[in-house]
Amino acid sequence: MNFELIVDNFFLIILGLDETLNLVIISLSLGFVISIPFSLARISSIKILSKSVYYYIFIVRGTPLLVQIYLIYFGLGAIPFVRESFLWIVLKEPFWCGILALVINTVAYTTEIFRGGLQSITKGQIESCKSLGMNKFVMYSKIILPCAFRQALPGYGNEMILMVKSTSLVSLITIMEMTGIARNIMYKNYAPIEAFVAAGSIYLFLNFLVVQFIKFLEWKYNPHLRVKD
Amino acid sequence: MFQFDLLIFGNTGWGDELLISTIMTILVSLSSMFLGVCLAIIITWAKISGNLIVRIIANFYTTVIRGIPELLVIYLIFFGGSATLMYLAKIFGYNGYIELNAFTMGTISIGLISAAYSTEVFRGAYYTLGVGQLEAGKALGLSRFQSFIKVLAPQMLKHALPGLGNVWQITLKDTALVSVTGLVEIMRQSRIASNVTHSPLTFILSAAILYLILTSFSSKAFNKLEEFTNKNDSVTQ
């Protein structure tokens, strides 16, 4: 193993960090926003809503992300209807295909995590909201959703780490993020270990930051668990 | 669009190729899961009762594997493995190109990934049991190894089963990534077929359906197993 080469590769691969971060941030924030109504639909008493979200989750969680990425990138483009419609403006770009696949994937997992959080809200909490005269909007925005989010935080943290790792797969549809650059470096100088160790260390550091961020959020949203001095 | 005629068996369709590739996916998943569980037992033992150095190595391993993308692990094992072998071969005077068997390298890389996840499952199962079980075994005059095999392991397996079910699903889905090394499993076969026939939607959708069948059947099987292992619980409650 050549240590100098690892350092050289490190500075080449870090140029792809902004692409990786773009993918992570856009797909996670879109996924977060979409997952809230989805998880409410999942636990709703309207059968058709909860069933359709259930089947969506079943399909997405039962297939590998790579299949979903290929299906969107190669599969959708093969439908003439899609090629002729306005969707093609977005879907001809590999970047947006990648984002679409990542969002579809993360929404399925995040919805299940949020559902767990929502179901941890006890009946007593809802009853006390009602007895204080809150309307539905205030009850959800001030009590139920924040409490559910707090319960869901550890699971959501795992999902964030999984998303950072998942972005490496879009390198297979020609997006040049960190894994893509590392693979190109390997093809150029055929020193695979040096290239992938450099890339791996950046991912490891990114995930370390995510873990710290989740720890901060857990500290912020659990004031009752803080040690007082 | 979706062309059913491409999926028939025989010379004109890709049905039989897809079936063979499905068996390949199952084989890779089973062997990597087996490797993963075997490694996980050793690593869990290292984490629980090893000395400081062994514990640090075990923790480093699980942290790194769970912190870097699976694709990188596969690239590292597949390309790094053959590069290392070629380097070693050079010392012995062989200058040719060595390519390793994709099945073996795929199994090793997916096995290493699933070992890290299984380790955490086993560790969790161990901590639900507590040291009391080991002490009880000691009081009955069992050796440490005996009490592990006869007392702890069966109970750990029961607690670990739901977690192992999840690891199995992850492992099954991770095998799709082995397609980058050229192993002809479902993903690779469907890419080959779609390149040949220019009908990507047909084959990638078929691949998705095949994976869905595999994952839903295995989740049913794990539910049945859990019912079986929890049989005595429902009697006492």
Per-residue pLDDT band at B224 (split at 50, 70, 90): very high
User: Does the beta-carbon distance from A165 to B68 stay under 8 Å?
Assistant: yes
The ipTM is: 0.89
Task: Please give the pLDDT value at position B234.
Answer: 59
CA atoms of B123 and B227, how far apart (whole Å): 22
The C-alpha angle with vertex A10 and arms to B181 and A16, in degrees rounded to 5, equals: 75
CA atoms of A116 and A155, how far apart (whole Å): 9
Per-residue pLDDT band at B237 (split at 50, 70, 90): very low
User: Does the beta-carbon distance from B204 to A75 stay under 8 Å?
Assistant: yes
- CA distance, residue A79 to nearest chain B CA (Å): 6
Beta carbons of B176 and A66 less than 8 angstroms apart: yes
Q: Who's near A212: CB < 8 A, 6+ residues apart?
A: none
Token match 């240590």: residue? A3
User: Does the beta-carbon distance from B208 to A208 stay under 8 Å?
Assistant: no
B160-194 pLDDT, tens per residue? 999 999 999 999 999 999 999 889 999 999 999 99
B59-115 pLDDT, tens per residue? 999 999 999 999 999 999 998 888 888 888 888 888 777 777 889 999 999 999 999
**Is the Cβ of A105 closer than 8 Å to some Cβ of chain B?**
no
CA atoms of A147 and A222, how far apart (whole Å): 10
- CA distance, residue A54 to nearest chain B CA (Å): 14
Q: Who's near B16: CB < 8 A, 6+ residues apart?
A: B9, B10
- CA distance, residue A66 to nearest chain B CA (Å): 7
Instruction: Return the residue of A nearest to B213 by Cα.
Output: A62
User: Does the beta-carbon distance from A200 to B64 stay under 8 Å?
Assistant: yes
Task: Please give the pLDDT value at position B5.
Answer: 78
User: Does the beta-carbon distance from A179 to B180 stay under 8 Å?
Assistant: no
Q: Who's near A115: CB < 8 A, 6+ residues apart?
A: A39, A42, A43
HSE on the CB side for B91, CA within 13 Å? 5
Highest mean pLDDT among A93-102, B45-54, B80-89, B195-204: A93-102
B8-51 pLDDT, tens per residue? 787 778 888 899 999 999 999 999 999 999 999 899 888 887 78
Instruction: Return the residue of A nearest to B69 by Cα.
Output: A165
**How many residues are given for chain B?**
237
CA atoms of B58 and B45, how far apart (whole Å): 10
Q: Which residues of A122-137 are buried (b: 16+ CB within 10 A; e: fewer)?
A: eeeeeeebeeeebeee
Neighbours of B143 (CB within 10 A): 10
Neighbours of B77 (CB within 10 A): 24
Of A71, A171, A199, the CB nearest to B208: A71
A contacts of B215 (beta carbons < 8 Å): 61-63
**Is the Cβ of A209 closer than 8 Å to some Cβ of chain B?**
no
Q: What is the dihedral of CA B85, B88, B90, B91, to 10 degrees?
A: -170
Beta carbons of A172 and A69 less than 8 angstroms apart: yes
User: Does the beta-carbon distance from B212 to A165 stay under 8 Å?
Assistant: no
Instruction: Return the residue of A nearest to B199 by Cα.
Output: A78
Collapsed DSSP state (helix, strand, coil) of residue B236? helix
Give the percent of chain B with pLDDT over 90. Answer: 53
Residue ranges of the alpha helices (H) in A92-191?
94-119, 123-131, 136-138, 145-166, 178-189
A24-83 pLDDT, tens per residue? 999 999 999 999 999 999 999 999 999 999 999 999 999 999 999 999 999 888 888 888
Instruction: Return the residue of B nearest to A203 by Cα.
Output: B68
A contacts of B180 (beta carbons < 8 Å): 172
Instruction: Return the residue of B nearest to A198 by Cα.
Output: B72
CA atoms of A193 and A206, how far apart (whole Å): 20
Beta carbons of A55 and A134 less than 8 angstroms apart: no
